[in-house]
Structure 1
C-alpha cells in the first residue's frame, strides 16, 4: 500500500465551493481500481489549505490507473481550477521499524 499526500492550496474565498466539488469528486476517485480510501483535512491555521491523503494498493494504481483514465479528466474539471499554486503530489510507503 502507498499513500498519496497532497497539500491543496485553495484560492481564498472558494473554500466552500471547493468542499462541495470535492464531495462530487470523491465518488470518482473511489471508483478507481486499486483505490483503498481517502481523507481530506482542512488546516486550522490557514483555512484555505487542505491536506489530501489517498491510500492506493500500488503506485501504479494512482499514476497509471487513475491518471490515465477518463475519470481523471472529470476529477480535473471539478477541482483543478481551485488551486493556486498548483499542488505537488508525493507518494509514501510505510517504513518498517
Structure 2
C-alpha cells in the first residue's frame, strides 16, 4: 500500500463550493482499480488549506490507473480550477506505525 499526500491551497473565496464539488468528484477517484480510500481534511490554522490523503494498493494504481483514465479528466474538470498554486503530489510508503487506537472519521 502507498499513500498519496497533497496539500491543496484553494482560492479563499471558493472554499465552500470546493468542498461540495469535492464530494461529487470523489465518485471518480473511488471507481479506480487499486483505490483503497481517501480523506480531505481542512487546516485549522489556514482556512483555505486542505490535506488530501489517498491510499492506493500500489503507485501505478494512481500514476497510471487514475491519471491516465477518462475519469481523471472528469476529476480534473471539477476540481483543478480551485487550486492556487497548483498542488505538488507526493507518495509515501509505511515505515513504522504504532497507535493505541486508530480512528476512521
TM-score range, shorter chain: over 0.9
The DSSP-based 3-state class of the residue aligned with 2:80 is: helix
**Quick one: distance in 2 between partners of 1:52 and 1:96?**
21
Matches within 5 A, 1:41-52: 41-52=41-52
State the partner residue of 2:23: 23
Q: How many aligned residue pairs are there?
A: 97
Taking structure 1 as the reference length, the TM-score comes to 0.98
| Greater gyration radius | 2
Q: Runs of 5+ in structure 1 lacking a partner?
A: none
The DSSP-based 3-state class of the residue aligned with 1:33 is: coil
RMSD: 0.9
Q: Deviations over 1:19-45 (max 9, x none)?
A: 011000111111100000001000000
Taking structure 2 as the reference length, the TM-score comes to 0.90
CA, structure 1 residues 11+95, in 2 after alignment: closer, same or farther (shift >3 Å)? same
Q: Deviations over 1:38-72 (max 9, x none)?
A: 01000000010000000000000000000000000
